[in-house]
Amino acid sequence: MNSFRSLLTRSRPGKLGLLEVIAMGVGGMVSGGIYAVLGVAMAQAGNAVPISYLIAGIITLLTAYSYLKLTLHFGEHGGVFSFVEHVVDRPTVAAYVGWVLVVGYVGVMAMYAFAFGAYTLTAARAVFGIALPQYLRPIMSILIVAGFVGLNLKGVNETGLFEDIAVYIKIAILLSLAVLGIVFYDGSVTAVTFFSEGVVSPITGFAIIFVSYEGFQLLVYDYEDIENVERVLPVGMYAAIAIAILIYVSVSFMATLHLTPEQLVAHEEVALAEAVSHIPVLGAAGFVLVILSAMKSTSSGINATLFGTARLVHKISTEGALPRAFSFRNREGIPVYALVVMGGLTAAFAALGSLKQITEFGSVAFLLSFAVTNYTNLRLADVTASNRLVPALGLVGTGVAIPIVLYHLYLTDVEILLWILGIFVAIFLLEFLYLERSPFDPDVESDG
């Protein structure tokens, strides 16, 4: 008991404790993964979608092991960017990884902001009976991003407090809906044909929805802000992933009990809300509850991702891989320019048209980063005191998922596949043309 209590205490104000770490981990993962991606997952895996979420979750746990071992060994908050820096002699390789991650995170945050705007319009119609014009959707997206940029500029305490409240409410709501949906299943929709899309469908499905677990690695970017980091970070990260797995598996299973895969796919972004509306004891009230929960979830996803990504950008810029302006911190240690620019790019993407291509790129980008992390830890297993089997299994899982995603896009949407490849080429050219490569200490330069 005393050991657990020590994880909750903080010696200094402004530090993140265990509750904040868990909240930010869950907030980073369970944001769009169950609300917006469920329909896509059902289209691929059918009634076996809970298995897809479970497989993806297990591979995420394996990858988290590598993230923790490498982060605690090097004592840095740069994530896979720092890992690559330590194992390759060419700084361009690490810089390219950094650029890919930054663009991937912008796409993920824009997806959350886009979804928040859409859910806001749906909430106005479902709760108040007001049909707001569609041109307000991008305005809502911009406002929510601007709000969280301001919140993060105020400091760590306000951010952690918001996550504590927002995420734990979300966890309670989603798990409660899963239990109610399973307990009050009336047999009106039959899910006995578990492998409705074929026995291998869960394998394909997990690769497509892997982006649902993107977000746990954001915690390593907050390395310097976590109290008792060597104990709190591992417990918080594993707990957050376990909670995410429980939510994804239970909620998706509940959804298969109340709607067929065809019905869930037909309702697209509001698939979960539609499934909950078929629970006898909830009905229309359940639909409204999910819509409001979705707004809370996507907003917390923006917050957690923005908080961690701004620190990643700061780290990369101090290594000379991004313009030095991003390395500036104010007197409270907040990376101001990184926050403002990341927020501005996110708002722009969210406001300008469809984000489908960017979201698909994000899936590939994070699968690549997870594969690189597992490979790096496998190479350094002796140094990091790691069990080689864990990163090896993680590398196999992420390595298999990448060609599955690309082949799926080849069969279903070649245009998006070409668009994704085009982004990778563009990033490579930007990195190749960016000539500044000397690392520096921004604090030393600002003192001079």
- Do the Cβ atoms of 346 and 113 come closer than 8 Å? yes
CB atoms closer than 10 angstroms to residue 426: 12
Mean pLDDT of 389-394: 96
Q: Which residues contact 437 (CB under 8 A, 6 or more apart)?
A: 91, 92, 95, 320, 321
Q: Which residues contact 402 (CB under 8 A, 6 or more apart)?
A: 207, 364, 367, 368, 371
Predicted confidence (pLDDT) at residue 448 exceeds the cutoff of 50:
no
Positive or negative, the Cα torsion across 42, 272, 417, 66?
Answer: negative
Predicted confidence (pLDDT) at residue 394 exceeds the cutoff of 80:
yes
Q: What distance in Å separates the CA atoms of residue 345 and residue 3, rounded to the nearest whole number?
A: 43
Q: What distance in Å separates the CA atoms of residue 285 and residue 274, rounded to the nearest whole number?
A: 11
Q: What distance in Å separates the CA atoms of residue 128 and residue 141, rounded to the nearest whole number?
A: 20
Predicted confidence (pLDDT) at residue 1 exceeds the cutoff of 60:
no
Q: What distance in Å separates the CA atoms of residue 380 and residue 388, rounded to the nearest whole number?
A: 9
Q: What distance in Å separates the CA atoms of residue 340 and residue 346, rounded to the nearest whole number?
A: 10
Q: What does the pLDDT read at residue 315?
A: 76
Mean pLDDT of 79-106: 81
Q: If pLDDT is split at 50, 70 and 90, which confidence band does 326 have?
A: confident
Predicted confidence (pLDDT) at residue 353 exceeds the cutoff of 80:
no
Mean pLDDT of 145-152: 89
Q: What distance in Å separates the CA atoms of residue 49 and residue 106, rounded to the nearest whole number?
A: 27
Q: What does the pLDDT read at residue 240?
A: 94
Q: What distance in Å separates the CA atoms of residue 396 and residue 332, rounded to the nearest whole number?
A: 42
Question: Across the strands, what pairs with 226?
Answer: 16
Predicted confidence (pLDDT) at residue 68 exceeds the cutoff of 80:
yes
CA angle, residues 437, 443, 446, in degrees to nearest 5 = 90
- Do the Cβ atoms of 24 and 307 come closer than 8 Å? yes
Residue written as token pair 């930054």: 102
Residue written as token pair 């298999």: 400
Q: What does the pLDDT read at residue 179?
A: 92
The residue that leads in pLDDT, 83 or 239, is 239
Residue 389's Cβ-count burial label (10 Å; 0-12, 13-18, 19+) is exposed
Q: What does the pLDDT read at residue 241?
A: 96
Q: What distance in Å separates the CA atoms of residue 173 and residue 184, rounded to the nearest whole number?
A: 16
Structure tokens at 108: 């993920």
**C-alpha pair distances (Å), 262 with each of 189, 256, 310, 368, 424:** 12, 10, 40, 31, 34
**Which of 222, 252, 248 is closest to 237 using CA atoms?**
222
Per-residue pLDDT tens for 149-158? 988 887 654 5
Structure tokens at 168: 């734990």
Q: What distance in Å separates the CA atoms of residue 154 and residue 15, rounded to the nearest whole number?
A: 14
Mean pLDDT of 120-143: 87
Q: What does the pLDDT read at residue 357?
A: 66
Residue 332's Cβ-count burial label (10 Å; 0-12, 13-18, 19+) is exposed
- Do the Cβ atoms of 305 and 149 come closer than 8 Å? no
The residue that leads in pLDDT, 155 or 126, is 126
For the chain, the average pLDDT equals 80
**Which of 343, 76, 305 is closest to 211 using CA atoms?**
305
Q: What does the pLDDT read at residue 196?
A: 61
Q: What is the pTM of this model?
A: 0.84
DSSP state of 196: T
Residue written as token pair 């409410």: 169
Predicted confidence (pLDDT) at residue 106 exceeds the cutoff of 70:
yes
Q: Which of 170-174, 368-372, 387-391, 437-441 has the lowest mean pLDDT?
A: 437-441
Predicted confidence (pLDDT) at residue 219 exceeds the cutoff of 50:
yes
The residue that leads in pLDDT, 160 or 74, is 74
Q: What does the pLDDT read at residue 313?
A: 83
Counting every residue written for the chain, the total comes to 448
Residue 199's Cβ-count burial label (10 Å; 0-12, 13-18, 19+) is exposed
Share of the chain above pLDDT 70, in %: 85
- Rg from Cα positions in the chain: 21
Q: What does the pLDDT read at residue 436?
A: 52
CA angle, residues 41, 364, 315, in degrees to nearest 5 = 125
Mean pLDDT of 31-56: 81
Structure tokens at 227: 């109290």
Q: What distance in Å separates the CA atoms of residue 319 and residue 420, rounded to the nearest whole number?
A: 27
Q: What does the pLDDT read at residue 157?
A: 47
Q: What distance in Å separates the CA atoms of residue 408 and residue 43, rounded to the nearest whole number?
A: 12
Residue ranges of domains in the chain: 15-433
Q: What distance in Å separates the CA atoms of residue 96 and residue 91, rounded to the nearest whole number?
A: 9
Query: Span 15-433: which CATH code?
Result: 1.20.1740.10
Mean pLDDT of 11-31: 78
Mean pLDDT of 30-47: 77
